[in-house]
Amino acid sequence: MMTIGEAAAASGVSAKMIRHYETVGLLRPHRAANGYRVYADADIAVLRFIRHARDLGFPLEKVRRLLALWRDRNRSSAEVKRLALSHVEALEAKAASLRAMAASLRQLAEHCHGDERPECPILDELEKAP
Amino acid sequence: MMTIGEAAAASGVSAKMIRHYETVGLLRPHRAANGYRVYADADIAVLRFIRHARDLGFPLEKVRRLLALWRDRNRSSAEVKRLALSHVEALEAKAASLRAMAASLRQLAEHCHGDERPECPILDELEKAP
DNA sequence: ATGGGGGTTCCCACAATGGGAAGGTCAAGG
DNA sequence: CCTTGACCTTCCCATTGTGGGAACCCCCAT
């Protein structure tokens, strides 16, 4: 049984975020008589779970669903896999979009002299009509 | 000389965003006697510039600097190139991070049977201690 | 004059995180 | 016993970029 500060240290989630996860309903710690939140080992496990999921880029809504599956002893691994792969697709789509931007811009930059002169194909491109 | 709706249609930037760009100081349209914003062709060019820069993922702060360089006839292309390449690095770093997440997660998913059984290495990983 | 299609400002929301203020609580030590 | 400092509580604000919507004003055509 620990306070929020200890739970933060034990889980690697900041106290601020722990409270936030509670307000969005991912967590329900007990309260001591003085109003302090009290975290049991199971709560710490939840917090670590959340952190790992966040480290993999899952948005909180998907973390919520993962948690539900985690707690459900009758889940099918298929459902977990589906959720995970949909997230993989989202990540890859986003990454591809960023890489496309980077590639276009790098392309433009390669044609830029990068000297004292003001002429610059990067600005020319940004200025274009369409 | 056009109103904000026409400027939106001409530039591809929503009226909502045009107002926002104004409040953050990227734009200063004139005002008609009735209080309506009035956009000149130069303003439309600025809006298109902003849109192109946003399409390349530049955050508004960098868009602001690009605009300043664009307007500065004495700019050096080196400065533009530096700004662009720093953004390229940011994009690539972000993309790499997303791809790393996707790769880890895909890896985990590959080891998940994805059937009716509850055992799932994805959840096992999220549950892990550290 | 009236109705519709603009325009204006202002507030709220998202997602996830952090900063900070104002105040309550507890343990240690003088 | 009381102070001090570390910790807890709630509440508000900011970030980034975008959108939704309310309440209200304006102009033109019917």
CA distance B35 to A54: 47
Residues of chain B with pLDDT under 70: none
| Number of H-type helices and E-type strands within chain A | 6, 2
A64 contact to strand C (CB, 7 A limit): no
The pLDDT assigned to B29 comes to 97
Among B70, B80, B33, B23, smallest CA distance to B48 is for B70
The pLDDT assigned to A129 comes to 85
> Token digits for B10?
């001409």
Q: In whole angstroms, how large is the CA radius of gyration of chain B?
A: 23
CA distance A19 to A4: 8
A104 contact to strand C (CB, 7 A limit): no
* Residues of A with Cβ-Cβ distance to B54 under 8 angstroms: none
Tell me: the pLDDT tens digits for A62-77? 999 999 999 999 999 9
Whether the CB of A110 is below 8 Å from some CB of chain B: the reply is: no
* Residues of A with Cβ-Cβ distance to B70 under 8 angstroms: 123, 126-127
Residue whose token pair is 């989630």: A13
Which residues, 6+ apart, have CB-to-CB distance to A92 below 8 Å?
B98, B99, B102
CA distance A38 to A51: 19
For residue A130, is pLDDT > 80?
no
Percent of chain B with pLDDT over 70: 100
Q: What rounded mean pLDDT belongs to chain A?
A: 97
Is B105 in Cβ contact with A87 (below 8 Å)? yes
SS3 of B31, please?
strand
